Structure 1
C-alpha cells in the first residue's frame, strides 16, 4: 500500500495505523521469544505493546471515517482535531486512552454508515460477537494504559496479581503438587526454626490469558485497518 512508503504525517489517518502496526509487530516478536526467554514478567511489555496497538488502530479507524465521509466531531469539523464522544461531551482524542469510549464510537461509525460501506466497498465488515466482551476484559484490566507500564498503579488489588510470582498458601501448594504431580517454581520463606512463614509461587496462567486476548484483538483490528485503508483511502 502507498502509505507504507510515505512519511507518517502524509498518511490519511496521520500515521496512527502505521504506528499501530509497528507496536503490534514488536509485540509479536516479543511473544515469539517469550517462551524461551529467562526474563520474568516478560508478559508486561508484550501486553503493553498489543494494548497500545489496539488503541491506535481504533483511533486510526475513527479518523478515517470522519475524514473520508466528512463527519464532524461534534462541533469540530472533520478536518479539525479529532474528538471522541465521552458521555455528553466531545473530548480531544489525544486525551482519551481508555479503549471503551474509542470502541463505542468505532462501533457507532460502522453502524451509522453501514449503507455506505455496503454500497461502496467489497469487504465483509462483520466482527466476532465476542469482540465487545474482549474489549470489556481488556478495559477491566487496563482502562488508562498504565497497568502494563508501571509496577504500581492506583489499583493495589490488581497490582497484586500483575507479577507471575504471587503470594501463595503453603498448604494449597502441597495439595496442588500432590494432585498435579507437576514441577513448580516456589519461594519458601522460613523463620529461624525452619517453619514456613511465607510462600510465593510462579503462576503465569493469567498472564497467558491476557496476552492471548490482546493478541487476538490486535490482529483483528490490524486486518480491519488494512481493509479501511484499501477500501476508503485508496491505500494512502
Structure 2
C-alpha cells in the first residue's frame, strides 16, 4: 500500500484518503485516552471529517480510474460532486448526505467494472446513519463550535447535563458506581442546580459516527488495494 509511505500529493486521490485515515486514527487515540474533560466534540469532529474525506477520496478514485468526466468547469485537477442538478467543487462540499448520494450514483454506474474479488455492496444501515449525522451537522460546523444551531440542539453536545439530584442519587444506587456531579448553592447553601458529569450526549450520533468512520476506513482500504493498486 504505497499511499501509506509516500507523500500525499503523489497519491492517486491527491491525499484525501490518507488524510481521512489520519483523522480516523486520531479519533481512535482520543477515544482510548478516555479523558472526560476532552468532551465529545473533538471526537465527533475527527470522525465526521474522516467520513467526509473518505467519501471524497472514493469519488475521486472512481472518476479517475474509469475516466468519468466531471461537469463543465471541473476536472481531475478540480474534482466536484453533483448535488441535485448542480456541480459543486469537492473542496466546497461538506454535506455528508450530498457526498454519499453522489458516491452511490458513481458506484452504481461503475460497479460492473469493479474487481470481482470484493463485495462492493454498501451495507444497508450506512445510509440511515449518514442521514442521522448529516441531519445534526449538515455544514460541518456543529462539532466545531459551542454555538452552531438552536440553543436546545447545542445543549445536547455536552457530557455535563442538568439533572435532578434525586435522579443522580437513584442512578448511583442502581449502578453502585460513584457519580461525578456539580451542585450549585444559593446564599443559604440550598441546592438550586445539579449537573451530572457522566451524561451521554447525542448517543445515536456518537454510535453512528464511530460505525461510519470504521466502515469507510475499511471500504477505502479495499478501494486502494483492489482499484488503485495501492497508489
Could you state the TM-score of these two structures normalised by the residue count of structure 1?
0.88
Unaligned runs of 5+ in 1: none
Q: State how 1:1-236 maps to structure 2 within 5 Å.
A: 1-34=1-34, 37=35, 39-76=36-73, 78-117=75-114, 120-173=115-168, 176-177=171-172, 182-206=177-201, 209-236=204-231
CA contact (8 A) 2:172 2:178 kept: yes
Q: Describe the SS at the equivalent of 1:48.
A: helix
Q: Describe the SS at the equivalent of 2:201.
A: helix
- Aligned pair count reads 231
Distance 1:233 1:190 in 2: 62
| CA displacement at 1:137 relative to structure 2 | 1.6
Distance 1:85 1:156 in 2: 33
CA contact (8 A) 1:47 1:211 kept: yes
Q: Which moved more, 1:61-70 or 1:125-134?
A: 125-134
| CA displacement at 1:173 relative to structure 2 | 3.9
Q: Describe the SS at the equivalent of 1:148.
A: coil
C-alpha distance after superposition, 1:133-175 (max 9, x if no partner)? 1111211222222222222213322211111111223454455
| CA displacement at 1:97 relative to structure 2 | 1.0
Unaligned runs of 5+ in 2: none
C-alpha distance after superposition, 1:2-38 (max 9, x if no partner)? 222221111110000011111111111111111xx3x
Could you state the TM-score of these two structures normalised by the residue count of structure 2?
0.90
Q: Which moved more, 1:216-225 or 1:171-180?
A: 171-180
C-alpha distance after superposition, 1:178-234 (max 9, x if no partner)? 665553222222222333222222233235654332122111111111111122212
Label 1:40 to 1:192 Cα distance change in 2 as closer, same or farther (>3 A).
same
| CA displacement at 1:96 relative to structure 2 | 0.8
